[in-house]
A and B are shown apart, each in its own frame.
Chain A
Amino acid sequence: LGHGSGGVLTNKLLESGVFDLLKNPILDEHHDGAIFELDGKLAFSTDSYVISPVFFPGGNIGELAINGTVNDLAMCGAIPKYLSLSFILEEGLTMTEFWEILLSIKAAAEKSGIFIVTGDTKVVERGKGDKIFINTSGVGQLHPKAAISAKRVQVGDKVIVSGNIATHGIAIMSVREGLDFETSIESDTINLNHTVEALLDTFGNDIHLFRDPTRGGVATVLNEIARDTKLGINIQQKDIPVIEEVYGACELLGLDPLYVANEGVFMAIVSAEIADDCLKKLQTFENGQNAAIIGEVVSEHPRQVVLQSRIGGKRVINMLVGEQLPRIC
């Protein structure tokens, strides 16, 4: 793209490489759309990926676009099957960069086991985009044992996070802000579907809810759950896994890790009886080693999320209201 302009190159590019790299039997058909068979209940999800910088410590926009939709399907309790992939490229993105993104897409798709079955590429003039935008949509088959719904969340349920929080958001910010940490913080973007599938195999409908705390972080997800269930949630500051460097970066930037975006982390609300076993199981996975039970669902303070602070005292964790205006007088 560095040396091309306009649509001519686009088609050439398309034919000569982009989707070749990602080929599989369905994509090879070259239809206007993909044709496939799927039985039973399905989950369907879509997301667009816009991120600056496109390359960040621990990953790039490509794997983010695959993992994002794969994970959204997994959070529904589904096993991801097929994916569509569309690019909007801005003139000026180099072929090398694009190629690297494609390679990560390929790797991420293979790792999660999802098939890319249809796709599209458009190129826009310089200044009309931000290097590269990606849209993915995915279809998955509901896990036979899954019964994921906010309605099933009940008092006593435990809140589990699958790993260190805020790492991804800080990794992105560290590039954007030029933070030069001693040890570099890397994004933990990863597919969560295999882990989720294994948990569903074992614990079935004792798992009441999965959510991935992407934008708005853990705090936002918890607030949404509290709002939807009309129940309260208590969390313990001391139990929330945060890498020390990430914590330090948050301090520096005046941020609360609970509000920072995540990628390779999911949250599960599970029945109290299986919580410990579920945690143990989760910890056997590479992306679950730092998993922790951080709190529980309570009947007190409906619709509110309350953090028990490490030094005593409890703090109300609110939904972010627009821009964070200072409140201290």
Chain B
Amino acid sequence: MVYEIRIKGQVQGVGFRPFVYCLATEMQLSGYVNNTNEGVLIEIVASEKIKDFTESLLSKAPKLAKITELSTKQINRLPKYSEGFHIIKSQSGDKRNVLLSPDFGICEQCSNEIDNQKNHRFQYAFTTCTYCGPRYSIIKQLPYDREHTSMGVFEMCDDCRQEYQNVNDRRYFSQTNSCKKCGIKLTLFDNQKRQIADNDSAVIEQTIKAISEGKIVAVKGIGGYLLMCDATQPSTIETLRLRKHRPLKPFAVMYPSLVALEKQIEVRAEEREILTNEVAVIVLLSTNIQLSTAGLVGVMLPYTPLFQLICQKIDRPLIATSGNLSHSPIIYQDAKALDELSEIADFILVNNREIVVPQDDSVLRFTPKYNKKIVLRRSRGLAPTFILPSFFAQNNIIAMGAMLKSTFTITHENNVYVSQYLGDLEDFDSQENYKNTLSHLSNVLSFTPQTVLVDMHKAYSSTEMGRTIANEKQLKLAEIQHHKAHFAAVLAENNLLDSSEPILGVIWDGTGLGEDGQIWGGEFFSFRSNSIERVGHFEYFPNLMGDKMAREPRLSALAVCSSFFENLDFLKEKFSDLEWNIYQKHLKQAKMLQNSSVGRLFDAMASLLGIADKVSYEGEAAINIESIAQAYLNENGIPNEIYEIVILPQNTLSIQHLLQGVSNDLNQNVNIGKIALKFHLTMIESVNMIANKLNISKIAFSGGVWQNALLVDLVIERLSNFELYFHQQLSPNDECISFGQVAFFELINRNKS
């Protein structure tokens, strides 16, 4: 009997065909396997063994493979091969249904090979195999074949070709296969575009020397250029801060090895696992080493052979931060790097493999007590794959996402793609990058949109772009409220869209435009029978001075206090007389925009506690207030009192009572760490009260505030009698908005039908 097996999912470029080949050969079955635009197609001649075979396909698949669908069907024709098993060349069709593979960090075997003097890839900076190396960042077209990637221009030498054709080799059909003889070349330039070295070993030697001497080198990695320098030389870091116009925002650190890292910082099992697996992300670790900020430092391990060669030799932690200027996206083109990164870096290490899709490093953290994973930035290694087998939405949707942490989501052939983090769209290059990534992914997948989803906020660049697309192509356009999108995202990620029980959504973030024209951000929603209703929120306070408010927590403090206190003199010292007079005048205006943002409430607290009046980067105040509360908790445990919670009509949470409590504590010189912790606890208790009042037993959390690990730990601890749902693959911040727009739109459609 002849069977046709079709497999969908992340099955290309992960050693799937050789795996099928080996399995079939082992079981003495004949037939063939090939890559198609839809995934993998197997034709096999089998009888009773077919069940065994398909089961093994699922259970023994290579670790990088992710199967979303496997269908077996008996066919009534003669087999193409009745003897032996064959891997045949890919076929192109119209449908592009295969899931794109993300980029993978270097595998253990490749890592050993480049250290092994006897191996012919000794010190080869682009060593890869089917288990590792770039994928999404180099793909130009589907199916994933060498000529469809930036590797297409490199002709394999005889040795490499032999590996490539040997089914028993780890590099069988490895599209990124190359070696010193036939592969990618390194060139080192100084910041005047003068070539310093172009012999690979000389380049690496000089790079190591430069970094050791305290110089900054821009190194082309997988998703773009990283700025690297010695993390143990404070003057070098100072120079980097100055040149990058980044006074305080922490830098990520690359340790030469796990061993070296663990000598300095305690690493927990979950963290170790994710630092060393194929995703190779940045993990925020709790520590007080000199490089840390607010008790945290972002670390990663060398995830490419090149980084390994550089780091191991220097044997000290290196700063490794995205090569970009201020808010712009990571630079990935060589010419641009030579032009622009020369303002920051002393040297630029170029290689001649083109990056097609630029990506930043992904960033994760784990909550200190319950090890709950929080995605802070989903990018290289994680995007664009978004496997959510239970989630179905209409096909051919583009959801444009938010503004400051932009992503887009497209639905295509029953797959969902959530783009990598695409940055702040006020920045021109980020906008271009967003547009390019969208059109690239659309081309690769042959995607044509029918529906465009945008935020309600008309001044979001993503909204404007979405409107333009909808106008030009005459597509259906729908506006979706920001926080409803947040909620829908976390619901869908947890497979809750079909839930028959009501779910409370606790959506806390910075700002989003609300349906009443005010600024929302401290919202409670209920989800029942396909619909999302706003059921409560934090008490409104004035939105002062537009976006300036988000940059100056003291403005939040002033705005919050002005609504509820007569005498504001205690805030006066935070302002010049001139500022004070102006802001007072503004606050007296009748038509102030109102705001219910918990993000701004955290800002206000940070300012009241004297931690931050102005911030130099987004999230600075929030990180610092979390940090002092966590530190207090670690020292003293949970205090036995919290602030008074008063629920006003329409489930409006009083801020006045909270502030009164904080103010009393401040007057009595209570430790600010304790106040910060009591504030966190009060916030959690308010969720408890609202959930009880509404008699809802399931709670889902989304919004940027939930990047706060302490808050998440406290939820898990204090709300243990509820069923709790958090984001899993996506970030709770605005990166999840595009997917949430899709999920919310799905709810709208369900309601219609």
Chain A proximity of B476: nearest CB distance (Å): 22
Contacting pair A328 B547 (CB below 8 A): yes
Q: Tell me if A's interface is mostly helix, strand, loop or mixed.
A: loop
Whether A328 contacts B459 by the Cβ 8 Å rule is no
B625 part of interface (Cβ distance < 8 Å): no
Which residue from chain B places its CB closest to the CB of A328 in the assembled complex?
A: B550
B-facing mask of A223-254, CB < 8 A → 1, else 0?
A: 00000000000000000000000000000111
Contacting pair A326 B519 (CB below 8 A):
yes
B601 → A minimal CB distance (Å):
14
Q: Does A318 contact B (CB under 8 A)?
A: yes
Instruction: Determine which residue in A178, A179, A312, A327 has the highest number of CB atoms from chain B within 10 A of its CB, and name it.
Output: A327
Min Cβ gap B412→A in Å is 27
Interface residues of B in 338-356 (CB under 8 A from A): 340, 343
Q: Kindly state whether residue A280 has any CB partner on chain B within 8 Å.
A: no
B459 touches A329 (CB 8 A): no
Contact of B429 among A313, A318, A327 (CB under 8 A): A313
**Inter-subunit contact B457/A318 (CB<8 Å):** no
Would you give the shortest CB distance from B652 to chain A, in whole angstroms?
21
Given contacts A252-B579, A326-B550, contact A312 B513 (CB under 8 A): no
Q: Which single residue of chain A is at the shortest CB-CB distance from B512?
A: A329
A318-B459, A328-B404 as given contacts; A312 in contact with B340, CB under 8 Å: yes
If A252-B579, A311-B325 touch, does A329 touch B585 (CB 8 Å cutoff)? no
Interface readout for B274-288 with A: 1 if CB under 8 Å, 0 if not? Answer: 000000000000000
Q: Return the contact of A325 from the options B427, B428, B513, B578 (Cβ within 8 A).
A: B513
Interface string of B509-551 (1 = CB under 8 A from A): 1111100000100000000000000000000000101111111
Interface size for A (C-beta < 8 A) is 28
Q: Which residues from A are CB-within-8-Å of B327?
A: 313
**B548 in complex: contacting residue of A180, A254, A316, CB < 8 Å:** A254
With A180-B578, A313-B327 as known contacts, state yes or no: A328 contacts B585, CB within 8 Å. Answer: no
The reply to whether the CB of B224 lies closer than 8 angstroms to some CB of chain A is no
* A94 contacts partner chain B, Cβ-Cβ < 8 Å: no
Of the residues B405, B427, B458, B519, contact of A313 by C-beta under 8 Å = B427
Whether the Cβ atoms of A306 and B585 lie closer than 8 Å is no
Query: Which residue of A has the minimal Cβ distance to B460?
Result: A327
- Whether A329 contacts B429 by the Cβ 8 Å rule is no
The docked-state distance in angstroms from the alpha carbon of A177 to that of B458 is: 28
| B428 touching A252, Cβ below 8 Å | no
Chain B CB within 10 Å, residue with most, of A306, A316, A323: A316
Residue with the greatest number of chain A CB neighbours at <10 A, chosen from B428, B432, B464, B546: B428
Contacts of A313 in B (CB 8 A): 324-328, 427-429
B618 within 8 A of A: yes
Check A324 for interface membership: any CB of B closer than 8 A.
yes
Does B734 have its Cβ within 8 Å of any Cβ on chain A? yes
CB of B431 within 8 A of chain A? yes
Cα distance A73–B741 in the bound complex, in angstroms: 49
CA distance A301 to B548 in the complex (A): 28
Task: Assess whether A324 is in contact with B459, with CB atoms less than 8 Å apart.
Answer: yes
Determine whether B461 belongs to the interface, using a CB cutoff of 8 Å to chain A: yes
Residues in A neighbouring B324, C-beta threshold 8 A:
313
* Interface assignment of A151: CB less than 8 Å from any CB of chain B: no
Give the contacting residue for B405; candidates A252, A315, A329; CB below 8 A.
Answer: A329
In the bound complex, do residue B328 and residue A314 qualify as a contact, i.e. CB atoms below 8 Å apart?
Answer: yes
A109 and B582 CA atoms in complex are apart in Å by 36
A30 to chain B, nearest CB (A): 47
B244 to chain A, nearest CB (A): 9
The answer to whether A301 touches B428 (Cβ under 8 A) is: yes
Inter-chain CA distance A177–B586, complex, in Å, is 8
Chain B neighbourhood of A327, CB < 8 A? 403-404, 426, 457, 459-460, 511, 547
Inter-chain contacts of B547 with A (CB < 8 A): 254, 324, 326-328
Do residues A328 and B511 form an inter-chain contact, with CB atoms below 8 A? Answer: yes
Chain A: which residue is nearest B245 at the CB level? Answer: A311
Closest partner residue, chain A, to B544 (CB atom): A254
Most buried by A among B325, B482, B578: B578
Assess whether A127 is interfacial by the CB under 8 Å rule: no
Return the CB mask of A300-319 against B: 1 if under 8 Å, else 0.
01001010010111111010
A329 and B461 within 8 A (CB): no
User: Quick one: which of B509, B543, B547, B618 has the most chain A CB within 10 A?
Assistant: B547
Using a CB–CB cutoff of 8 Å, the interface residues on chain A facing chain B are: 177-181, 252-254, 301, 304, 306, 309, 311-316, 318, 321-329
Interface set of B (CB-CB < 8 Å, partner A): 245, 324-328, 340, 343, 402-405, 425-429, 431-432, 457-461, 464, 482, 509-513, 519, 543, 545-551, 578-579, 581-582, 585, 593, 599, 618, 704, 733-734
Apart from A315-B427, A316-B431: 10 A-B pairs, beta carbons within 8 A: A180-B581, A311-B326, A312-B245, A324-B459, A326-B511, A326-B519, A327-B403, A327-B426, A328-B550, A329-B405
Closest 8 CB pairs of A and B: A312-B325, A254-B548, A314-B428, A328-B550, A329-B510, A254-B545, A313-B326, A313-B328
